[in-house]
Amino acid sequence: MKILVPVKRVLDPYVKVRVKQDQSGVDLANAKMAMNPFCEIAVEQAIRLKEAKQASEIVLVSAGAQQAQETLRTGLAMGADRAILIKSDSVLEPLAVAKLLKAVVEKEDPGLVLMGKQAVDDDNNQTGQMLAALLGWPQGTFISKIEVLDDAIQITREIDGGLETLKLQRPAVLTADLRLCEPRYASLPNIMKAKKKPLDTMTPEDLGVSVEQRLTIQKVEEPPTRQAGIKVSSVAELVEKLQKEAKVL
């Protein structure tokens, strides 16, 4: 079984976010970038399936600027076999990414698409679901456990009321939740080996996909500064402040 793992290059989650002065978006100039944490989890799970002899090949794919090669090399150093970069300098919306991935899936013919449930930069949580709809494949979202069967996949997913177990026929699209697994660190020898692993580059035009923007960002602002707390002398005073000042009661 071949596994296709989409990954995204995002602002490092441990870096303070800066908003551009014109409020048109987040300032990424000279900012530290990294692989989206949920994508890291998906890569790790794919590697574990291969180590368990349940997968034959792991192919990474990323859509974005040329610098996304660094993100793909990180995944290759973790243990993926090869990578594909869909180079585009445009702002890629979830539907455009889903269409690009659909075209790659049709070329690669994987038995499973395993991806992060969302990216920490835009938090849309849409691409996996859109890709499954475009392909007409079964989907399992927010999965915290996976078991490969003969011709199907059994997954456990987190829902509001607890955990749900589903059995999906392959091929399928799965989106990884935080508790699926703990990503490994790439060793120095594997980092060196990753430089020699195949990384193909193509464009949206090569795949026959339009990435025209359909959404417009009106304004991006930093959250309001949190006010300092105060001490109250009694429960009655607390209730009064919650009612008259905070207006939450």
pLDDT computed for residue 229 by the predictor: 85
Yes or no: say if 206 and 87 are a contact pair by the CB < 8 Å rule: no
pLDDT grade, residue 22 (50/70/90)? very high
Task: Give the CB-side neighbour count of residue 122, counting CA atoms within 13 A.
Answer: 13
CATH numeric code, 2-246: 3.40.50.620
Q: What is the mean pLDDT of residues 145-166?
A: 93
pLDDT grade, residue 185 (50/70/90)? very high
User: Does residue 25 have a pLDDT over 90?
Assistant: no
Out of 24-28, 44-48, 163-167, least confident range: 24-28
The more confidently predicted of residues 230 and 183 is: 183
Could you state, in order of their start, the residue ranges of all structural domains in the chain? 2-246
pLDDT computed for residue 43 by the predictor: 98
Query: Which amino acid type is present at position 30?
Result: N
Q: What is the mean pLDDT of residues 3-25?
A: 93
Q: What angle do CA 169, 134, 9 make, to 5 degrees?
A: 95
Q: What is the mean pLDDT of residues 54-62?
A: 97
Q: What is the mean pLDDT of residues 47-68?
A: 96
Mean pLDDT of the chain: 94
With CA atoms as reference, report the closest residue to 100 among 82, 115, 111.
115
pLDDT grade, residue 224 (50/70/90)? confident
pLDDT computed for residue 4 by the predictor: 98
Query: Which amino acid type is present at position 44?
Result: E
User: Does residue 3 have a pLDDT over 90?
Assistant: yes
User: Does residue 143 have a pLDDT over 90?
Assistant: yes
Q: What is the mean pLDDT of residues 103-131?
A: 96
Q: What is the mean pLDDT of residues 32-57?
A: 96
- The 10 Å Cβ neighbour count of residue 89 is 9
* Spatial separation of the C-alpha atoms in residues 41 and 176, rounded to whole Å: 7
User: Does residue 151 have a pLDDT over 90?
Assistant: no
* Spatial separation of the C-alpha atoms in residues 123 and 120, rounded to whole Å: 5
